[in-house]
Amino acid sequence: MNMAPTEGMAIDALIEPFASDTIFRVPEAGRMLTPALLIDRDRVQHNIATTLRLLGGDANRWRPHVKTAKLGYIMRMLVDAGVHQFKCATSLELTVACQAGAHDVLVAYPVVGANAARIQQIAEQHPGVAISVLVENESQAANWQGAPVSLFVDVNPGMNRTGVPEDHIDAIVRLSQTIVSSGLRFRGLHYYDGHLSKYGMAERCKQAHPGYEQLMRIVDTLAKVGLEVPEVITAGTPALPCSLSFPRFSNARFVHRVSPGTVVYCDATSVTQLPPEYGYLPAAGVMTRVVSHPAPGMITCDAGHKTVSADAGVPTCVVLGHPALEPLTPSEEHLPMRVRDRAPVPAIGELLFLVPRHVCPTVNNFDHAAIVSSGKLIAVERVSARGRERPIQM
């Protein structure tokens, strides 16, 4: 989830308007163990409402990926807002989504072997939830024969991670026909164009729209052989503006859904990737303490890469309210920072608040999250979908 090169340099300036000293600071902070994951409930509600506004108030058009939310608590907030369909990647996320009140969950991952058997078991345990999976070839589809799940054909938009290449229309048609002729339910097409995050906004949409036109050609070709496509899913967070600006999705004969999940918490990367007029706010952060002054103009905090994920690169985060602090390469439990511009050096023991560049794996690093609202700690909730299930179900 890399920031576009032309946008990444502005990250500090873009985050600073949100750097209120009260966003995560609560009276209980002094007695909280650090590092700690803090989630601002009011801002989560704001971000959910913002997404629904962008979708014209139609909650049916949003299928958020819960790899970001991770908490049943946050999933229930989505359900309460009218969002009943989700995406997930693991069996644990699927279980938590079902328990949170989801009506419809796509396991957007090519599950095989024992993993597929576990998905089938969860589907049997939750008969009231419409559970679906991705397939990209006939042998995968055959493995779901008799299972209480439906199938999406996974279309590869050029990301080359999974799926049938988008220009292999004949293969997509054959696979869709195989699904139907086998007595399985064909749910539609899944198209995740996350690789477009490397481009600036104008170029991102310039790259995305031809792919969406190809999707429409696939839909038209399927219709010619008597197969209607019930649903088409596009767009994680970076490509959201591109899907919203593609006119043929707004009056299509299928249900079109977008699947951004990061927008729920809106990390430092999302602030640079999405138009500022959307109005998303950073809603999740890590509270850390300064633990050392190892050298002049240097501090170290207790928020290494086992706390704030380093997968998006260095710096791993932005320090709220401290633009002169430059996070450097972390080790497992240590986050060194350079103090720039002869700014005051934070004291040992001082609390700092970090907005991650990539919030999804950062949330997954924590067992619990402190939920704050209006400057008060209102709950401590388990990050109930973090990690994975035990490898053998007993």
Summarize pLDDT for 278-299 with one digit per residue, the tens.
Answer: 999 999 999 999 999 999 999 9
Q: Kindly state the average pLDDT of the residues 17-36.
A: 80
Return the structure tokens found at 122.
């969860």
Is residue 330 scored above 80 in pLDDT? yes
Write out pLDDT tens, residues 173-198. Answer: 999 999 999 999 999 999 999 999 99
DSSP H helical segments within the chain, as ranges? 5-8, 11-15, 41-54, 66-69, 72-80, 91-99, 114-125, 138-142, 169-181, 201-224, 240-244, 268-273, 359-363
The pLDDT tens digits for 131-156 are 999 999 999 999 999 999 999 999 99
- State whether residue 159 is helix, strand or coil: coil
Distance CA 214, CA 130 (A): 28
Task: Determine the pLDDT at residue 12.
Answer: 63
Q: Specify the 3-state DSSP secondary structure of 30.
A: helix
Q: What is the pLDDT of residues 203-231, one digit of tens each?
A: 999 999 999 999 999 999 999 999 999 99
- What percent of the chain has a predicted confidence (pLDDT) above 70? 94
Residue 116 above 80 pLDDT? yes
pLDDT of residue 85 exceeding 90: yes
- pLDDT of 11 reads 61
CA distances, 314 to each of 18, 30, 73, 317 (Å):
21, 28, 30, 8
Local structure of 127: helix, strand or coil = coil
Residue 8 pLDDT: 39
What domains can be seen in the chain, in order of their start residue?
Answer: 5-39+277-382 (2.40.37.20), 63-259 (3.20.20.10)
Read off the pLDDT of each residue in 333-357 and give the average, rounded to a whole number.
96
Q: Do the beta carbons of residue 70 and residue 383 sit within 8 Å?
A: yes
